[in-house]
Structure 1
Amino acid sequence: MAKREKATIDHWQGQEVPIGQSTDVKLAVSESYTGISLKIPIRIIRSQNEGPTVFITAALHGDELNGTGAIRQLLCDETLSLKCGNLILVPILNLLAFDRHSRYLPDRRDLNRCFPGSESGSLASRIASQIFSEIIGRSDYGIDLHTASVRRTNYPNVRADLRNPEAKRLAFSFGTEVILDASGPLGSLRREACHVGCPTIVLEGGEVWKVEPRIVETAVRGIKNVLVKLEMIDGEMDRPERQVVITRSQWIRADRGGFLQFHVHPGQIVETNQPLATNTDLLGREQSVLLAPYEGVVIGMTTLPAISPGEPVCHIGKFQKSTAGEELLESRSDSDNSLEERLVEHLASNVMVTEREPEGDSPAQP
């Protein structure tokens, strides 16, 4: 882990940020074609007492708006009162992509592959450098909110490098049923933040271009759970009874072009060789059936039934122990109107699902 000297939060690019107050600041990250400064709006909430600084960011990919909805809810929450520490809330991190309703910057680069950035590099690299030095450079912990990419949806899951004890603490505290253990891609914000000593986790949930109520509820609950765990706010943690760690996952891909009839929905527990989707031609004649390669949980899936050969259909996270699926189902059924039950019901409405009997010991399609 690289060592760093954390920057002070008392001042933000020449603006004073008083203790015990909420202050709106702006971070200049680039310029428009007309030379006008491009500034990211940020709210900093400071307690009267010393404590950790936590950043919450959304729309690092400009079309992923569920996190923006969650942060806006926090911004409007008059009951949110810090006992100690500081909170940095950034509802839109990638303004240039957000203005274009796009995942990517105008130079077609993915900002989430450009950290820690460079002051003299490409447009994306320069923006990443400013964000990294001014936000991550002031923070002790971070939560970065994401969704699935276009034409896909994700069952809410936290992604974290569980080799990092503090990132692991954040991941389990956040309170999703599913936790993916991975360090993240090279150049991603969470990976590079962890590398310089700012443990950071990612929430993946829902779809692009939407603010989905159940995903927002999950994000807000998780953020508050983390703040309770860090003793920054009062309250009780609200987590599911069971949480499962996924160390291996696989996208099941179509072997032929066609039109899909789905048999599972996001968040569903699946068994080995359970049918995931039937591929038919446009007149309804069956061409192939995609099967689950192992027992696990549906982390994500396409929402577009028209498919080409090789395109991803269903993302399955493999259970590490044989009883994991039963435990998750039991946990859901034991809770009356739990958030997890409502999440499954909500996300199931994004795809048309019909049942199909398992095909015995037939091999899974590639």
Structure 2
Amino acid sequence: MKPSPAEWGKVRVEAGQLKRFSLEVGKSLSGARVNLPIVVWRAKEPGPVLGITSAVHGDEVNGTGAIRSLIQEPPFSLARGTLILIPVINILGFERHTRYMPDRRDLNRSFPGTAKGSLTARLARKVFEDVVKRCDYIVDLHTAALRRTNFPNVRADCENTDCQRLARAFGCEVIVNGSGPEGSLRREAVDAGCPTIVIEAGEVWKVEPTVLDLTRRGITNVLIELGIVEGFQQLPPHQIIVEETKWVRAEKAGLLRYHVAPGQSVASGQVLATNTTLLGRTNETIRSPYDGIVMGMTTMPAVAAGDPIFHIALPKSKQQHLRLTQSIGGLEKNSLESDLRTQLATNIDVSEEEEQ
């Protein structure tokens, strides 16, 4: 039987109430209680239960900041249903500013977990039983890994009609179709009957203003889509679903000069970066083998041979790539989509390619 979103152990959330409380999920190495801060907000009318989770990887705090913002300044009121907000899932990693759990395991490869397993497996099981099973839908917020940034994109199993519905409603420009890694929160939640999407945006250890704005907008869009909130969705000027992404790697060690930024449309053969020695001599000119959009990139310019540098999302056809390029080129100045491209590149030195 599905657990009630109103009952959380000794805590009861009545219809029309918003409650802040902590959910005990285990013990730390010292034996102290490990508690997840949580907000449960119920409308007066019954309806769907949407969970918003963040920091399954403990250093990915862009989503944490967005959830805090929604708690402090909600841009909506609930017409029906329930909203569950958990700013940090991997609380033990969060307290150490690290991606992983103290036992060095990846929590996002450990769901649905087991009550008799490792520290990580036990936390995964507790979260799955106490949070995931209470939800009808979940939006799970992530960032790129260490020394990388991600242009905002949705990861979703678009073969699942409810997942595709959530993905489109959230309102990122790029949707990557796939079921996700085995043991990830979204894949195991979908398999358990809870449609779940992942948002990938920005960097670790930061709350980036435009990522926060996009996430607030996207969550509001999803709430409207589900009928939990009344209003009109704010969607991007273009949106593509891609089936494939590719990494472009350095062939030689050196120091990079970037010539493209996150969110930029690139063509096959276009120069992405120049790889030089420390004394400025060119090691290699790195070109895109693909038509696509820069979905992610390294922020560490010092690279070894084989290091991944640019993550390219590949449109299904040249026509789709052309439409995407034209739409990006026509973005309104000061729009959220335009501001994202500007701000995500502020810590990357992007320059024009020098003539050889």
1:272 positional shift: 0.4
Corresponding position: 1:117 with 2:109: no
1:119 positional shift: 0.3
1:325 positional shift: 3.3
Corresponding position: 1:16 with 2:24: no
1:318 to 314, 329, 332: 314
Output aligned runs, 1:213-362, within 5 Å: 213-332=209-328, 333-356=330-353
Aligned length: 355
Corresponding position: 1:131 with 2:122: no
1:24 positional shift: 1.6
Q: Deviations over 1:156-184 (max 9, x none)?
A: 00000000000000000000000000110
Quote the residue 1:45 is aligned against: 41
Comparing 239-248 with 205-214, greater Cα deviation is found at 239-248
1:356 positional shift: 2.4
1:221 positional shift: 0.5
What letter is aligned with 1:239? L
Contact 2:20 2:40 (C-alpha < 8 Å) held by counterparts? yes
Comparing 5-14 with 127-136, greater Cα deviation is found at 5-14
User: In 2, Cα distance between the equivalents of 1:335 and 1:164?
Assistant: 33
Q: Deviations over 1:246-300 (max 9, x none)?
A: 1111111111111111111110000001111111111111111211111000000
Contact 2:331 2:338 (C-alpha < 8 Å) held by counterparts? no
Quote the residue 1:106 is aligned against: 102
Q: Deviations over 1:21-40 (max 9, x none)?
A: 00122221111233221110
Comparing 96-105 with 347-356, greater Cα deviation is found at 347-356
Task: Report the TM-score, using the length of structure 2 for normalisation.
Answer: 0.97
What letter is aligned with 1:85? G
1:241 positional shift: 2.0
User: In 1, Cα distance between the equivalents of 2:228 and 2:288?
Assistant: 42
What letter is aligned with 2:319? T
1:94 to 82, 90, 106: 90
1:330 positional shift: 3.4
Contact 1:275 1:357 (C-alpha < 8 Å) held by counterparts? no
1:209 positional shift: 0.4
1:51 positional shift: 0.4
User: In 2, Cα distance between the equivalents of 1:302 and 1:178?
Assistant: 19
User: In 2, Cα distance between the equivalents of 1:79 and 1:282?
Assistant: 49
Task: Report the TM-score, using the length of structure 1 for normalisation.
Answer: 0.94
Corresponding position: 1:63 with 2:95: no
User: In 2, Cα distance between the equivalents of 1:286 and 1:41?
Assistant: 51
User: In 1, Cα distance between the equivalents of 2:109 and 2:74?
Assistant: 35
1:73 to 69, 79, 83: 69
User: In 2, Cα distance between the equivalents of 1:102 and 1:277?
Assistant: 30
1:14 positional shift: 2.4
Consecutive unaligned residues in structure 2, runs of 5 or more: none
Quote the residue 2:203 is aligned against: 207
User: In 1, Cα distance between the equivalents of 2:150 and 2:337?
Assistant: 13
Q: Percent identity?
A: 48
User: In 2, Cα distance between the equivalents of 1:282 and 1:44?
Assistant: 53
Contact 2:259 2:273 (C-alpha < 8 Å) held by counterparts? yes
**Ranges of 4+ aligned residues in structure 1 off by more than 4 Å:** none
**CA-based RMSD:** 1.4
Contact 1:254 1:311 (C-alpha < 8 Å) held by counterparts? yes
2:93 match: secondary structure:
helix
Consecutive unaligned residues in structure 1, runs of 5 or more: 360-366
User: In 2, Cα distance between the equivalents of 1:159 and 1:111?
Assistant: 18
CA 1:271 to 1:78, structure 2 compared with 1: closer, same or farther past 3 Å? closer
Corresponding position: 1:150 with 2:146: yes
User: In 2, Cα distance between the equivalents of 1:150 and 1:358?
Assistant: 32
Contact 1:145 1:202 (C-alpha < 8 Å) held by counterparts? yes
User: In 1, Cα distance between the equivalents of 2:9 and 2:22?
Assistant: 9
User: In 1, Cα distance between the equivalents of 2:311 and 2:333?
Assistant: 28
